[in-house]
Amino acid sequence: MSAKKTHFGFKQVDADKKAGMVAEVFSSVASKYDIMNDVMSFGIHRIWKKIAMAHTGLKKGMRALDVAGGTGDLTIYMSRQVGPTGEVIISDINPAMLEQGRRRLIDKGVAGNVKFVEANAEELPFEDNSFDCITIAFGLRNVTDKDKALKDMYRVLKPGGRLLVLEFSKPILPGLDKIYDFYSFNVLPKMGKVIANDEESYRYLAESIRMHPDQATLKDMMQNAGFERCTYYNMTGGIVALHKGFKL
């Protein structure tokens, strides 16, 4: 019987090998990840994340989970939103990214109500109904089984809680897709080579964006996982979309 296949960028690979291949990419880019985010998005990623954080619904004393939280951009916001009586858990499958996040949050003095957990988004090591808000920013496209991950996020979310998925999506403005393609496949890998000394990892990241479900498809996937009142908001002409769903 042949092994189940999935995509790694534009390549077909064995599904059970993808997580390890993604891990190699992020181990390679971890130390330059924040610099590259600023350079390749011209700093706009900060605005996308700030907009997403206005939708958390978090109040003092609540509990949040930042899945595939990497270097902790969203965790920093949510740590302040829940305050010292609340808690934010940042989880990531990649220990190198998690360590970058740990150092960064300690440097910023916001690690007091934060816990760091190495975990696969498809098998979250948390009890049912544990969190008021779950976020995953620019991480879902790297997950091997997205449907399984969405179902597990639904499981650990409290009734009344919400999931926010911030992810690259499909441009909706006429002509933007051609400009975006040129930038992604010609400029971005070269930036990766110059700044992070890693052209191939950034070529994979560009390819992974193209293989990610479009806005309507991801909304359907969230509904199939059990989420209700699912909506999405396009940003920067649909280059990025924020999906929101509730567990009622």
Phi, psi of 148 (to 5 degrees): -65, -40
Q: What percent of the chain has pLDDT over 70?
A: 96
Other beta carbons within 10 angstroms of residue 223's beta carbon come to 14
Q: Which two tokens stand for residue 196?
A: 């992070």
The reported pLDDT for the residue numbered 1 is 43
Do strands 114-118 and 87-92 pair parallel, antiparallel, or not at all (unpaired)? parallel
The reported pLDDT for the residue numbered 120 is 95
Tens of pLDDT, residues 99-125: 999 999 999 999 899 999 999 999 999
For the segment 145-152, the average pLDDT, to the nearest whole number, is 98
pLDDT value at 141 more than 80: yes
Closest to 33 (Cα-Cα) out of 240, 202, 182, 204: 202
Higher pLDDT pick, 210 / 156:
156
Higher pLDDT pick, 243 / 196:
243
| Whole-number average pLDDT of the chain | 91
pTM of the model: 0.89
Specify the CATH architecture of the domain 25-173+201-246: 3-Layer(aba) Sandwich (3.40)
The reported pLDDT for the residue numbered 8 is 77
Using CA of residue 124, residue 127, residue 128, residue 131, what is the dihedral sign? negative
For the segment 211-231, the average pLDDT, to the nearest whole number, is 97
Adjacent-strand bridge partners of 45: none
When pLDDT is cut at 50, 70 and 90, the band that residue 155 belongs to is very high
For the segment 193-210, the average pLDDT, to the nearest whole number, is 85
Question: Which residue shows structure tokens 């995953």?
Answer: 136
Adjacent-strand bridge partners of 162: 133, 246
| Separation in Å, CA 191 to CA 73, 180, 203 | 22, 15, 10
The reported pLDDT for the residue numbered 29 is 65
For the segment 83-97, the average pLDDT, to the nearest whole number, is 95
Adjacent-strand bridge partners of 108: none
Tens of pLDDT, residues 2-41: 468 888 778 887 988 888 877 677 776 666 677 777 877 8
For the segment 151-175, the average pLDDT, to the nearest whole number, is 96
The reported pLDDT for the residue numbered 26 is 72
**Least confident span in 25-34, 35-44, 64-73, 136-145:** 25-34
